[in-house]
Structure formats: C-alpha cells, structure tokens
Structure 1
Amino acid sequence: MSDWWYRNIVEPGKLPLLLALLAFVLTFLITRCVTRLIRAGKGPFHDISAGGRHVHHVVPGVVLMLVGGFGGVATGGRGWAAALLAVVFGIGAGLVLDEFALILYMQDVYWSERGRQSVEVVLLTTALGGMLLVGFLPLGVDGLSPDDRDDRGNLIGTLLLHFVCALISLVKGKPKLAVLGVLVPVISIVGALRLARPDSPWAKRLYRRRPRARRRAERRARRHDARWAGPTRRLQDLVGGTPTGEREGT
C-alpha cells in the first residue's frame, strides 16, 4: 500500500490535488449540513450578519481561494506548505461553489429551484477532480507520443478539435458533456454530434426552419428527462436539500 501511495500519489506530485479535492468535498458536505440545520432551526448554528447585512459563506471562500491559489503558485506545488495551501484552496472552493447559483443569478436563490445548479456544479467539479487524480490530462493529450508532442501542428490541431467539440456541446445545451469532454474528448464529440436540446441556442437558431429536427429533439429531450430527471433530482435533494416549496426529503 505504501509503495502504491508513493508511486501513484506522492511521486507524480498529486498529493496537493488529492488534499484539495478531499477538503473541497468535505467542506461542501459540512456546509450543507450546517445550512440545513439553520434552515430547520435546529442546533447552535445561525446566519452571520455584519452591520445588518447577511454575510454569505462565499465571501470567506473567495479569500481562502486567493490565499491557497496564490500561495500554491508561490511554493511551486511542492513540500508541506503546498499541501497545506491545497487544503486551504479546497476549503475555499467548497464554500464558493456551494453558493455558485447566488453568483450566477446575483440573487439569494440558495433554497430555490435555481439553487440546484450549485449542487450540479459541485458534483461535476468533484468528478473532474477525481478524473485528474486518476490520470486524465486536459484535452486528452496524455495519449500522444513524444513525436506527436514535438509536432506542434498536430498538437494544436488536436486542441482546436477538442475545443470546438466542447463548444458545440455547450451551445447545444449540454454543459455537463462539454465540461467532461475537456478531459475525455470522446464525450464532447458525442455531445457535438447528437441533436441539440430544444431550448438551446443551437436549436433556436438552426432548427427554426427544420421542424422535423426540432420534433426529434423535443422527443429525445422528453425521453431523456423522463428517464433521468427523477433520479437526478433525488440525488440533488439528498446532497443539497430540497428546494423551498417542496417536501423535505432528508
């Protein structure tokens, strides 16, 4: 076990990433537990206010991210200081992304339906961090040979292809496939080739004069939502709490 730990985590320099990811997940889970207790009026916890203004935990989160990020760059990512700063960064990222929806909408939508996007972003970030930890490199360039890396033309072409596929997936209303496709290019390629979501910018512009393609996109979206919307919402409720106006599920 110790040999595996050194060979796969310590020697490749992935210990700061592991610590940051663990701190990120634990901070998010603890924060959600505390906010749910505050919401239910249980325990010793309460909202923090300063001068009559509610201070959201995104504020200390931003400070911790700055300290951990700039400090990590200054240390070069090595040594015990880098490991400590990685934990600081992970804690800050957990606090910030827990209120991602508030930043996106510039409103306190923490317990609303739109607040679910914070949970989605946290789950997606955790998946991406885990993929980086087990060896995936951005844009899939880890599969290139040394000769390919020397060939700048091939490398640039590969990067552009992956970027375009991820961008098309995003415009087609598939942000999760776009983000995951940055690390696993085949995912963004699938998203780019398949029909767009009917409410996406791609569909609104390009399916306007193609009623057949729009109907197909609507049928596919209904089937997808009918299959995955329920399990996805239950997972979000389990992790982040049920939005206001819905029955508490935890």
Structure 2
Amino acid sequence: MGHWLYRNIVEPGKLPLLLALMSFVVTFAVTRVVTRMIRAGRGPFGNVRAGGLHIHHVVPGVVLTVAGGFGAVASGREGFAAGLSAVVFGVGAGLVLDEFALILHLDDVYWSEEGRKSVEAVVLTAALVGLLLSGFAPFGVNDLSQDEIADRGTVIATVAVNFLFSLVALSKGKARTAVFGVIVPVIALVGAIRLARPGSFWAKRCYRHRPRARARSRLRAYRHDRRWAGPRRALEDWIGGKPDPSPARLPGPNRH
C-alpha cells in the first residue's frame, strides 16, 4: 500500500489533491451533521449571527477557498505549504458547495426541495476528483517499465473512449451517467446509446423532426423517473437530510 501510494500519489505530485479531496468530504460530512443538529435543536451548536444577520457558512467557505487557491498557486505542488493550502482549499470548497443551491437560487433553500442540488453538486465533485486520484489519470509517474507503460497507455486510451461516450451521454441530458461513465465503461456506453432525455441538447437537435422519437423519449424519461425517483430521494435524504415539506398552495388564479 505504501509503495502504491508513493508511486501513484506522492511521486506524481497528487498528494495535495488527495488532501483537498479528503478535507472536502470530511468538511461536507461534518457540516451536514452540525446543521442537522441545529435543525433538530440538539447539541451546543447554533446559527452564526452578526448584528442580527445570519452568516451562512458559504461566506467563510469563499474566504478559505480563495486563500487556499492562491496559496496553492504560490507554493507549487510540493512541500508543507502546498499540503496546507490544499487542506484549506478543500475545507472552503466543502463549505461553499454545501450551499451550492443557495448560490444558484440566491435564496435560503438549504432545507427545501431545491436544496438537494447542493448534495448533487458535492457528490459529482467528489466523484470527479476521485477519478483523478484513482489511477485513471496516471501522468507524472517516472521510471516506468515497458509493461507499466503499456498498461497505462491502455488505460489512457480506454478513458479517452469512455470520455467521448460520456460527452454524448451529457449532451443527452444524463449528467450522472456521464460522470460515472468515465469510470465504468458500460455506464458510458449505455448512456450514449439510449434515448436522450426531453429538453436535452441532443433531443432538441436530433428529435426536432422525429415525433415518434420525442414521444418515446418522454415515455422513457417518465418511466425512469418513476422507478428511480424514490431510491434517489432516499439516498439524498440520508446524505443531506430530508427537506422540509413544500407549503401548500391554494388553487385558482387568486390564491394570493
């Protein structure tokens, strides 16, 4: 394990990236635990306020992200300063993306249905960074044997093909399939072959004059969402907490 870590992480200069990913995931997990305790009224934690203003944790997150980013640029890829900057950046990124939905909607939607976008952003970011560390980006490793060069060349070629399939899947409106398809070739291939989701770039360009394809696309999307919406919501609730129920709206045009 130590030899693999040195050859694939330390020697190529990926240790700061590993530290950033670990601090990112830990920060998100700790933040969600603390916010869920505040929501439940448990523990010694509470919302941070200054002069009656609620200070969201995205604010210190932005400060830490900027400080860690500039520190990483100034320190390079090696040394204690690089590792420290990576940790600071990871902590800041974890705080920022935990409130990604707030930035997107410019509203405090943390515990609402729209707040689920924060969990999705964190999961996708962690998956992408993990991809760089998992050996699928094996650049910067020195003194490789011919067999190792051949193996890594095969990996790089495979990733390149998977990446093309993933781009097709992304154009078909399948973001999660595109991300995880880079790691698992079958996922990328299936996502690239199957029908595009309604409203995606692919559907708008390729299904404009194909009404049967548009109808099949809508039907497939409906069946897929009906089948997987429940498990996906349960997983997101387990990771980020169950959102508050949406307020009931009065029927009719004069509900105000």
What TM-score do the two structures reach when normalised by structure 1? 0.80
1:220: Cα distance to partner? 1.7
Structure 2 counterpart of 1:136, one-letter code? F
Tell whether 2:115 aligns with 1:115.
yes
1:10: Cα distance to partner? 1.5
Counterpart CA distance in 1 for 2:67 and 2:23 is 15
Tell whether 2:6 aligns with 1:6.
yes
Alignment of 1:230-241 (within 5 A): 230-241=230-241
Deviations 1:178-231, CA, capped at 9 Å, x for gaps: 445677888666545432212435435653542211121122212322332222
1:70: Cα distance to partner? 1.1
**Greater CA radius of gyration, 1 or 2?**
2
Tell me whether 226-235 or 80-89 shows the greater mean CA deviation.
Answer: 226-235
Structure 1: 5+ residue stretches without partners: 146-157
1:236: Cα distance to partner? 0.5
Structure 2: 5+ residue stretches without partners: 139-150, 155-159, 247-256
Residue in 1 that maps onto 2:32: 32
SS at the partner of 2:32?
Answer: helix
1:66: Cα distance to partner? 0.9
Counterpart CA distance in 2 for 1:56 and 1:120 is 19
Structure ranking higher in helix proportion: 1
SS at the partner of 2:101?
Answer: helix
Residue in 2 that maps onto 1:219: 219
Q: Does the 8 Å contact 1:162/1:185 carry over to 2?
A: no
> Residues 15 and 34 from structure 1, CA distance in 2 versus in 1: closer, same or farther, beyond 3 angstroms?
same
What TM-score do the two structures reach when normalised by structure 2? 0.78
Counterpart CA distance in 2 for 1:224 and 1:81 is 48
Counterpart CA distance in 2 for 1:216 and 1:143 is 41
Tell me whether 47-56 or 118-127 shows the greater mean CA deviation.
Answer: 47-56
1:26: Cα distance to partner? 0.4
Residue in 2 that maps onto 1:105: 105
Structure 1 counterpart of 2:84, one-letter code? L
Residue in 2 that maps onto 1:152: none
> Residues 181 and 62 from structure 1, CA distance in 2 versus in 1: closer, same or farther, beyond 3 angstroms?
farther
1:13: Cα distance to partner? 1.4
Tell whether 2:43 aligns with 1:46.
no
Structure 1 counterpart of 2:61, one-letter code? G
> Residues 51 and 4 from structure 1, CA distance in 2 versus in 1: closer, same or farther, beyond 3 angstroms?
same
SS at the partner of 2:82?
Answer: helix
Counterpart CA distance in 1 for 2:132 and 2:41 is 39
Structure 1 counterpart of 2:116, one-letter code? R
Counterpart CA distance in 2 for 1:97 and 1:185 is 28
Deviations 1:101-130, CA, capped at 9 Å, x for gaps: 111111111111111111011111111111
Aligned residues: 231
Residue in 2 that maps onto 1:67: 67
> Residues 189 and 106 from structure 1, CA distance in 2 versus in 1: closer, same or farther, beyond 3 angstroms?
farther
Residue in 1 that maps onto 2:157: none
Counterpart CA distance in 2 for 1:108 and 1:236 is 18
Counterpart CA distance in 2 for 1:232 and 1:91 is 26
Residue in 1 that maps onto 2:81: 81
> Residues 33 and 54 from structure 1, CA distance in 2 versus in 1: closer, same or farther, beyond 3 angstroms?
same
